[in-house]
Amino acid sequence: MENISNTTNLNVRVDSNLKKESDALFKKLGLNMSTAINMFLTKCVNTSSIPFEISAPKPSRSLKKALKEAEDITSGRIDSKGYHNVREMFEDILDEN
């Protein structure tokens, strides 16, 4: 068992809903937040890794298409109309109808 004089405080900011849900889960598992975090950190140190897969999400085709279009607009390959404010944009949209 760890000696209380050998511990340190760790302040972490988390989403309030995530904290509530994880507190409830850990309670069902017979743990508290401190024990769960210590288990996670111990596993990281023992394996020299994060104990789950971390990967970048693969963008969808529609996202890739939108990013390409945005790049083409930014580079000037596609002409686009800009607005200085939302009112100007809505006036233009309503005038087209």
Tell me, yes or no, whether 42 and 66 share the same domain: no
Show the domain range for 80. 61-96
Do residues 35 and 26 touch, judged by C-beta distance below 8 A?
A: yes
Distance CA 34, CA 2 (A): 13
Q: pLDDT digit string (tens) for 18-35?
A: 999 999 999 999 999 999
Q: Is the pTM of this model over 0.75?
A: no
Sign, CA torsion 28/25/2/8: negative
Residue 68: both structure tokens together: 């390409």
Tell me, yes or no, whether 8 and 43 share the same domain: yes
Is residue 56 domain-resident?
Answer: no
| pLDDT, tens digit only, all 97 positions of the chain | 556 678 999 999 999 999 999 999 999 999 999 999 999 999 999 999 999 998 888 899 999 999 999 999 999 999 888 889 999 999 999 986 6
